[in-house]
Structures are given as structure tokens and as C-alpha cells.
Homo-oligomer: A and B are copies of this chain.
Amino acid sequence: MADFQPIRVVTDMAIEARDIVRGEAHEEVPGVRVEKDGDQQIEITRVEIFNSQGAHLMGKPEGHYITLDVPGFKDRDAGVRAALVDVLSDQLKTLIPEDLAKSVLVVGLGNWNATPDALGPRVVERLLVTRHLSELVPEDVRERMRPVAAVAPGVLGTTGIETLDMIKGIVAQAHPDLVIAVDALAARSLDRLLGSVQIADTGIHPGSGVGNKRQGLSHESVGVPVTAIGVCTVVQAMSIAQEATHMLVQQLADDAKFYKILQEMGEPSQNALMEEVLGDRLGGLMVTPKEIDLLINDMADVLAEALNRALQPRLDRSEWA
């Protein structure tokens, strides 16, 4: 039986954490359940961490994590975006109270002034905000309209205030029934760069995220349930170096016996070695696609549209677009 070790690598994606912890074992990670669904265009993976052992091994709190992998997103195809809006709004609907009287606060985490970290604020900017309208719209619209508020609280570096504190303060005044936090994530795999959306009912817990969010944003910390939507917008430069070496080792292993020893070293020791050798040089650097600005806008369009649809199931699209 496999001897699972707690994850030491930093990734915001539960699906990656699971693949790393599991490695080449045949069994599932203890305390974790995984289900696959979807099609070639959009692959859906549900990871559930259902006990404390799973949480310990995965380095993430217990809860449900849904990953939508959309390898074709980077090709900027309108059809792929439309399909992602469909799937995403369906998934979100399962996490949002059906009762339209329940109000929602959407929080766009991240920094306006750093493109890969600007996803959250750009989604907020595109949302249909309704919380203040109830007295202004006709009766028939009002009863089909959920109160939605939206804020982009900025980041510690530009406000001087912990993001969590800002959100606590705003929640205390606006008292929503649910917080939905949108954030840019860091992934380990290049395949997920601008090609993967994670929805979690656990809130947001700082890890390798682009900015430094320090404290978790969760039901426990803000007092209402927190659903998190994250999109991988950067891969740390170190991941590239590590991935490069592993692929190289694997490739060479077939041909040359001198690599056996390096290979036998195993990935964790290889990574530790690289961390030591390259840490100073690669820390703070990140890898992005050349078209990052356009892709972030595409993704903000998709997320805002899916959120509007999931939050306002009884409004017609022409009422918000």
C-alpha cells in the first residue's frame, strides 16, 4: 500500500495537490474522493476532501472543489467561451441559494494594476449589481431580482489594510447571505495556465497565490458561507524549471543509464535540490502567456456572464448585458 506524504509543493488547485500527493500510487489519497465528468472541450473534476487526514495530506481544508479544465481557452474561440459560461453557471447554481431574497456579495480579490492579478477586479466591473435597485425598479422586476453587491477591495500592498479585514468590515455593514470570492490562482502545471477554473465551497486559503493574502477568507472568518472561484493565471518560474528537468530526466532515462540515479532520487528530492540551487534567481518571477491581457479580459467576460446567469436565473440576458 502506498505511503502517502503530506504535500510540500505550493499549488492553489486541489486537483494538482491530489495528483502530486498521489504520485504513481494506484489507490486514491486517503480522505479524498475524486469524480470525473464533462467532455474533451471541458473536463470536470470533483475533488472532495472529506476528513482531516485528507485535509492534512492535501494541505487544504475539507470541502468540495470542482475543477473545469478547458485546454482550448487560450485559442480565444467564442464557442469555447460560450460552452464554459454554460458549464460554469450550472455548477455555480448548485452553490447559490435558490431563494432570490438571499443576497450575495461578490468580492474581486487582487490588484487592478498587475495584469495577471487583475481578474477579480475585472469580473466585479462586469457584474450586474442590484442591491441598491430594489426601490428603483418596477415591482415585476424586483421580485425576479436577487440583491447582488460587488466590491474589489484591493490588496494589502496598495491599501495598507489586510484584505480579510476589509471584507469583514464590508460584510458587517452589507450583511450578505453568501460571499463569492473571485481570485487569480497559481498553478504548477503549464496546462492549467488560463485554462482552468476551480470552484470551492471552502473559501480562499492562502498558498502560492499571486498576491499575498495571508489569512483565509472563509465562513469561519467572515461569518457567512464563502464560495471561491479561482482561475490559474500564473505559473511560478520555478515550476517551469522543475518541470523542464523532470521531463528531461524522463526523456533521457530511456537512452542513458547515468540518469537512473537522478531518476531514483524522485521528484521531491529533485525539487528540493532545485529550490536550493535556483530559489534566489527565480523567486518573484512568473510565467504568463504572451496574450495575458487579452486572455484575462476573455476570462473576466466568461466569469461575469456565468455569475450573472447563476445569480439572476429569472432575469433575461438583455436585462443585464
Question: Which residues of A approach B to under 8 Å, CB–CB?
Answer: 77-79, 113-115, 117, 125, 129-133, 147-154, 156-162, 165-166, 168-174, 190, 193, 210, 237, 240-245, 247-248, 251-252, 256, 258-262, 273-274, 277-278, 281-282, 284-294, 317-318, 321
Contact = CB atoms under 8 A, between A and B. Distances in A.
Contacts of A113: 125, 293-294
Given A159-B129, A258-B258, A258-B262, A251 B277 contact: yes
A225 to B, nearest CB: 19
Q: How many copies does the complex hold?
A: 4
Contacts of A274: 244, 248
A252 B245 CA distance: 13
Nearest to A117: B290
- The residue in A125, A132, A147 that gathers the most chain B C-beta atoms within 10 A of its C-beta is A132
B247 A245 contact: no
Nearest to A147: B160
Given A259-B258, A289-B285, A161 B151 contact: yes
A70 B259 CA distance: 39
Given A243-B281, A244-B244, A251-B273, 4 more contacts: A79-B318, A240-B240, A252-B262, A258-B260
Contacts of A170: 161, 166, 169-170
B251 A261 contact: no
Contacts of A114: 290-294
A261 B289 CA distance: 34
A115 B292 contact: yes
Contact of A293 (B77, B115, B252): B115
A125 B170 CA distance: 21
A170 B167 CA distance: 8
Contacts of A129: 157-160
A124 to B, nearest CB: 8
A216 B21 CA distance: 51
A67 B280 CA distance: 24
A206 to B, nearest CB: 15
Contacts of A154: 151-152
A313 B33 CA distance: 51
A170 B174 CA distance: 12
A278 B244 CA distance: 7
A256 B150 CA distance: 54
A113 B122 CA distance: 12
- The residue in A149, A242, A252 that gathers the most chain B C-beta atoms within 10 A of its C-beta is A149
Contact of A132 (B77, B153, B157, B289): B157
